[in-house]
Amino acid sequence: IPREAELEQLVQWMMTISCQKFIWNSKIRSGKVTILSPEKVSLSEAYAAFYAAIESMGLTVEPAGDYFKIVESTDAKSLNLPVYEDGKPVPNNDRFVTQLVRVKPENTKDLTDLANKLKGKQGSVDVVGNMLIITDRGSVVRRLLKIIQEVDTGAAGEGEKIFFYQLQYADAEEVAQIIRDVFGEGQASGGAK
């Protein structure tokens, strides 16, 4: 691949190593990208580099039969993207995907607000009942999944909460000792609630 590859050169490179067929409209915006690697890469690493490169141009791929159609990612949620059911994590790359995430009904609003704040610029979060439908780059979706699962199934999800309180007058070590005495040294060090 040339040091500064245009979209067509990038696609030609990907076709030669993957035997995958691509379609794109010559009117879509593109640019030049540089991909450097000190050693040979595997096919999955090459795909990851390809997705990252076209994502930097504001593009993504959409399956179209035996082809990959290269399209602009401005409205990713309207594209024919791979859908991953709840419990099946998406690949960790820059290809746009849709992930379904079922959450506890009482946490739906909070988790939707959180996901909307953390999603990418082209990403989207829709809600049906207690199902979040997240469309974004795979790497962003994986990060969101970790956060959502922690918040949804962690201590906060069981009615318990952790509060951070800035001490104003008390000595931190004295307060820590009192808490250890109340809850027990073993529980505190063992990670109990």
**How large is the average pLDDT for residues 164-188?**
76
Residue 192 has pLDDT above 90, yes or no: no
Predicted confidence band of residue 52 (pLDDT cuts 50, 70, 90): confident
The pLDDT value given to residue 156: 47
d(CA 95, CA 85): 17
Residue 53 has pLDDT above 90, yes or no: no
Burial class (CB in 10 A: 0-12, 13-18, 19+), 102: middle
Predicted confidence band of residue 38 (pLDDT cuts 50, 70, 90): confident
Predicted confidence band of residue 189 (pLDDT cuts 50, 70, 90): very low
Task: Identify whether the C-beta of residue 84 lies closer than 8 Å to the C-beta of residue 90.
Answer: yes
Predicted confidence band of residue 2 (pLDDT cuts 50, 70, 90): low
Residues 6-33: tens digit of each pLDDT? 888 888 888 888 888 998 887 887 778 8
Task: Identify whether the C-beta of residue 33 lies closer than 8 Å to the C-beta of residue 10.
Answer: yes
The encoded tokens of residue 119 equal 């999603």
Residue 162 has pLDDT above 60, yes or no: no
The pLDDT value given to residue 159: 54
Residue 147 has pLDDT above 70, yes or no: yes
Q: Which residue has the higher pLDDT, 186 or 129?
A: 129
Residues 93-129: tens digit of each pLDDT? 888 999 999 999 998 999 999 999 989 888 899 999 9
Residues 122-145: tens digit of each pLDDT? 889 999 999 999 999 999 999 999
Cβ neighbours, 10 Å, residue 11: 21
